[in-house]
């Protein structure tokens, strides 16, 4: 059997680059490393080919397809995902964006800053950050006349002002929907989207959005809405306080508090920040305008298509709908390359997580057709439903892909059943496994699995649609004899590497056995690691440090 390069070697070759520039404009969960996605597109498709991603998320594959002169088809059930993809690609003259920003600034900055005014010794300042512990205002930051950041105790006027706002009195649109109850993402069904924000920040946001919605030019309006949704997380109560070691000032000990950032889900920490919404918006705007200026000089042009046929004379077709419904309308053998990263079981309920964005954007959301396993009981989304729907989409991919063309599936699971289901899904199709690899996460990815056994990379499985499938079914190997094979693969890995984390060993064993059309249960591999190699791995890792 021919062995692939060791995992660490692979990692060196295929290091995920961080999201800077255009890739850093807006958050999305499980964004894929653009440079690695680009490598796949270059390898498996040609210029002017039609590249499809039926679960395109924030559109990394779509952007890379466009930047490498392909025609891109992106589908996602999440309105926010299609909106983000479209705005990431939008090319707008930077001067027009800057002019519009100045107009928004004229209309909003002063009024919004008044919501945070702070009076000290007869002078008025603007509050930038407020620290709340449940319902009590604990600390207030503002900038003084010399531009110095002052951290102080709130006085009764500060508290009175902060508490003078109420959701009921907000005169503009703000989202009133209730979250689905899902403890995994800290979402409580008694909670409304607006309650993720203090009443003052909800007011400021609704005022700002109202102003943005009045922009006549559709392109600019969308871009500033994009800037608005990108601002929401840091303007919410979900921003935690980092308590750093403080210092003695005289003989009084002063704690040092820093701004954390919003993490996955709807966790509102007991101690949280309320950040001046105008400042949050300006920070995001600066990042976006910088990226848009860089992007303006890139050599591409967007021509939107209304359907697949239109792609002859255009290069981008984006659809906000379920992958299954959409693909059913595509003719057989019509797509040159498919690359996709489907939802991974119960890891991330995208529509529930995106509710904060979709509700502010007033989007209608099709929760019923999402492919997901959700803890929110009222949604009835279980593993069986997930497998059936994902299987149907993969069968559609098989149908729409041209013969002798490729399909790359980015896949991540530690669960035996999920792997087996995937292998069952492709069994009766014309898709034949050609290549397996691993793909690291970008350092700045929102999704990092840091459990000891957490997968710190994805698998990439590339299939070819063949005319006639040979009998190349992937065999599940079980039992004592097969354990010896697992052991020898692990031995091999340990000989080739001078450090070994569990996920690297797993990657190596799975990648190499799949190459031979064999598959071991992940739980079997893990138990062999524990029973036979734990001591050796510890020793190996200690030698490195
Ligand atoms: C793993 S994410 C893709 C992330 C993407 N690779 C990126 O770089 O941003 C999976 C996506 O599948 C979408 N999705 C879930 N069910 C879907 C369905 N039935 N049809 C289309 N998209 C769906 C989710 O909204 C989510 O954006």
Distance (angstroms) between ligand 1 centre and the Cα of 343 equals: 6
| For residues 258-275, average pLDDT | 91
Distance (angstroms) between ligand 1 centre and the Cα of 163 equals: 40
Pocket residue to mutate for ligand 1, from 31, 53, 55, most atoms within 8 A of Cβ = 55
Structure token digits, residue 38 = 């680009």
SS3 state of residue 218: helix
Ligand 1 atom index nearest CA of 30? 4
Q: Are 180 and 164 in contact (CB under 8 A)?
A: no
Segment 316-354, tens digit of pLDDT:
999 999 999 999 999 999 999 999 999 987 789 999 999
Instruction: Reply yes or no on whether the pLDDT at 544 is more than 60.
Output: no
Distance (angstroms) between ligand 1 centre and the Cα of 341 equals: 7
Gap between the Cα atoms of 198 and 164, Å rounded:
11
Percentages of the chain per state (helix, strand, coil), in multiples of 5: 45, 20, 35
pLDDT at 453: 53
pLDDT at 175: 98
Helices (H), 68-136: 79-89, 94-114
pLDDT at 454: 56
pLDDT at 471: 59
pLDDT at 468: 79
Look at 210-224, 382-396, 434-448, 512-526 and tell me which has the smallest mean pLDDT.
434-448
Look at 137-141, 193-197, 211-215, 251-255 and tell me which has the smallest mean pLDDT.
251-255
- Identify the residue with better confidence: 404 or 507: 404
Segment 27-48, tens digit of pLDDT:
998 888 888 899 999 999 999 9
Distance (angstroms) between ligand 1 centre and the Cα of 392 equals: 15
Gap between the Cα atoms of 522 and 196, Å rounded:
39
Ligand 1 atom index nearest CA of 371? 16
- The residue whose CA has the least distance to atom 13 of ligand 1 is 55
Q: Which residue has the tokens 């440079």?
A: 35
Could you give the count of Cα atoms lying within 13 Å of 408 in the half-sphere of its Cβ? 26
Split at pLDDT 50, 70, 90, the class of 539 is confident
Could you give the count of Cα atoms lying within 13 Å of 262 in the half-sphere of its Cβ? 24
pLDDT at 44: 97
Q: Are 469 and 38 in contact (CB under 8 A)?
A: no
Gap between the Cα atoms of 340 and 441, Å rounded:
15
Ligand 1 atom index nearest CA of 28? 9
Gap between the Cα atoms of 89 and 455, Å rounded:
31
- The residue whose CA has the least distance to atom 3 of ligand 1 is 57
Chain centre distance of CA 489: 33
Gap between the Cα atoms of 126 and 158, Å rounded:
11
Helices (H), 401-533: 416-427, 480-496, 502-515, 522-528
- The residue whose CA has the least distance to atom 4 of ligand 1 is 57
Q: Which of 409, 425, 443, 392 is nearest to 61 (CA)?
A: 409
List, chain by chain if needed, residues with CB within 6 Å of any ligand 1 atom.
28, 30-32, 55, 57-58, 60, 75-78, 81, 322-323, 341-343, 350, 369-371
Segment 109-154, tens digit of pLDDT:
999 999 999 999 999 999 999 999 988 999 999 999 999 999 999 9
Q: Are 245 and 259 in contact (CB under 8 A)?
A: no
Share of the chain above pLDDT 70, in %: 90
- The residue whose CA has the least distance to atom 10 of ligand 1 is 343
pLDDT at 447: 45
Residues 6 or more apart whose CB falls under 8 angstroms from that of 214 comprise none
Q: Which residue has the tokens 């008694």?
A: 190
Split at pLDDT 50, 70, 90, the class of 159 is very high
Distance (angstroms) between ligand 1 centre and the Cα of 76 equals: 6
């Amino acid at each position: 059997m021919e062995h692939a390069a060791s995992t660490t070697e692979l990692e060196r070759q295929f290091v995920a680059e961080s999201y800077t520039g255009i890739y850093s404009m807006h958050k999305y969960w499980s964004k894929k490393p653009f440079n690695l996605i680009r490598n796949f597109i270059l390898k498996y498709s040609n210029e002017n080919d039609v590249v499809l991603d039926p679960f395109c998320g924030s559109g990394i594959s779509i952007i890379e397809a466009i930047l490498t002169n392909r025609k891109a088809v992106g589908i996602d059930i999440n309105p926010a995902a299609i909106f983000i993809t479209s705005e990431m690609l939008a090319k707008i003259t930077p001067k027009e964006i800057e002019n519009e920003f100045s107009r928004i600034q004229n209309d909003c900055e002063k009024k919004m800053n008044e919501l945070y005014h702070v009076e000290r010794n007869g002078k008025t300042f603007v509050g930038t950050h407020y620290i709340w512990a449940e319902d009590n205002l604990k600390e207030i930051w503002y900038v003084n006349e010399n531009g110095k950041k002052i951290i102080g105790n709130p006085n009764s006027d500060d508290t009175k002002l902060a508490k003078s706002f109420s959701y009921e009195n907000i005169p503009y649109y703000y989202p009133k929907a209730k979250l689905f109850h899902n403890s995994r993402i800290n979402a409580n069904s008694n909670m409304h989207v607006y309650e993720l924000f203090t009443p003052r920040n909800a007011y400021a946001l609704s005022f700002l959005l109202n102003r943005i919605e009045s922009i006549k030019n559709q392109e600019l309006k969308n871009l500033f809405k994009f800037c608005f949704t990108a601002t929401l997380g840091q303007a919410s109560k979900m921003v935690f306080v980092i308590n750093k070691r403080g210092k003695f000032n005289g003989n009084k000990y002063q704690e040092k508090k820093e701004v954390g950032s919003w993490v996955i889900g709807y966790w509102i920490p007991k101690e949280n920040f309320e950040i001046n919404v105008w400042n949050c918006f300006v920070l995001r705007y600066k990042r976006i305008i910088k990226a848009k200026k860089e992007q303006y000089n890139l050599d591409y042009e967007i021509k939107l298509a209304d359907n697949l046929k239109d792609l002859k004379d255009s290069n981008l077709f984006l659809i906000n709908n379920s992958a299954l419904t959409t693909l059913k309308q595509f003719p057989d053998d019509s797509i040159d390359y498919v690359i996709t990263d489907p939802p991974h079981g119960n890891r991330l309920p995208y529509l529930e997580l995106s509710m904060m964005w979709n509700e502010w954007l007033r989007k209608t959301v099709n929760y019923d057709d999402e492919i997901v396993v959700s803890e929110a009981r009222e949604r009835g989304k279980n593993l069986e439903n997930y497998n059936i729907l994902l299987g149907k989409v993969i069968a559609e991919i098989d149908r729409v892909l041209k013969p002798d063309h490729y399909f790359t599936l980015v896949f991540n699971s530690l669960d035996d059943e999920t792997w087996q289901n995937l292998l069952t899904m492709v069994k009766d199709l014309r898709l034949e496994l050609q290549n397996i690899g691993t793909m690291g996460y970008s350092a700045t990815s929102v999704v990092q699995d840091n459990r000891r056994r957490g997968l710190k990379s994805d698998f990439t499985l590339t299939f070819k649609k063949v005319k006639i499938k040979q009998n190349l079914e992937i065999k599940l190997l079980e039992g004592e004899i097969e354990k010896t094979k697992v052991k020898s693969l692990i031995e091999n890995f340990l000989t080739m590497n001078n450090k070994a984390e569990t996920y690297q060993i797993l990657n190596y064993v799975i990648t190499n056995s799949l190459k031979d059309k064999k598959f071991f249960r992940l739980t079997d591999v893990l138990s062999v690691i524990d029973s036979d190699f734990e001591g050796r791995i510890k020793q190996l890792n200690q030698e490195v440090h």
